[in-house]
Amino acid sequence: MSLGLSSASRPARTGRVINFGDHRERAAEWTLVFVELPGRRAEASGVLLLDSESGELHLKLRRDWDEVASEEDTEIFQELEHDLQMKAHEMGGEGLLAWLEENAANTVRTGERTQIIVRDFSSTLNRLYREHVQTSVRPYRTHLPIYSLEVAAGPFLTNPEDVEPEGWAEMPDDLRLDENMFVAHIHGQSMEPKIPNSSLCVFRKGVVGSRAGRLVLVRNSELADENRYTVKRYRSEKAYSDEGFQHTRIRLESLNPAYPSWDLDEDEDETKYQIVAEFVRVLDEG
């Protein structure tokens, strides 16, 4: 089966540097990519998100082709995302969308375009993909469990085999997964712009090594409900004495200057405040 797309060699992946100060709202359009395989109905298998201002096309396709396609077709579909990226580079994002709308009809086609306002294209792409593309769940290989913060801070950390997740979220393919990781919604503005209000975020339980400078999920045992959970940057200062290095100051910092930061009293680190997990990344914005 041929899809009539570019066959250029795959480029090496590079890291993405994000400047959160540039997250202004921009007009965009998005559409779904539908794939119809022999003996199956057409299924939403990816998302195309066009930056109307720059013309850049952001895209994300499913990865579980071996679950839905023959071995021969799987090899072709595994190259589809790369081929679309190359064609978007050659034709421009608008040009590729127009080409797909005019030429793609049978095996691969696009849906109707929808206008949207976007602040962060990566997060919006992940959210649209999660909402519209149903893929095979492969625990801790492609997906992580979603827990409420109450569960994540309690049963999940102490007896995970007895706790059922609320669902499973597919992760970006550049994120290495392990069974200590989970996903939860974070509410509040104290860590904006890095962590927008109501973001779906990835965490790793069991902070290994020094916490200094890391973003951590903190539980305040004196508060109730999800108000007791917050993400803060952990700062510490140490001094050397006859007993070795001792903490002289532990501070939990907000990134948003409009919200308070505070120093912990000597015993508060383990009594009033508990470090539940380490923040890994924002998966998508609420």
What would the mean pLDDT of 186-210 be, rounded to a whole number? 86
Q: Phi and psi (nearest 5°) for 219?
A: -110, 125
What is the domain partition of the chain in residue ranges? 26-132, 143-284
Q: What CATH code is assigned to 143-284? A: 2.10.109.10
**pLDDT in the model for residue 13:** 38
- The pTM is what? 0.77
**pLDDT in the model for residue 238:** 64
**pLDDT in the model for residue 21:** 46
Distance CA 242, CA 109 (A): 71
pLDDT tens, position by position, 75-125: 999 999 999 999 999 999 999 999 999 987 778 999 999 999 998 898 899
Strand stretches in 14-113, DSSP E = 26-35, 43-51, 57-61, 108-110
169 DSSP β-pair partners: 144
Residue 51 has pLDDT above 90, yes or no: yes
Reported for 42-47, long-range contacts at CB under 8 A and 24+ positions apart, including other chains, are 42/109, 43/68, 43/134, 44/111, 44/132, 44/133, 44/134, 45/133, 46/81, 46/129, 46/133, 47/125, 47/128, 47/129, 47/132, 47/133
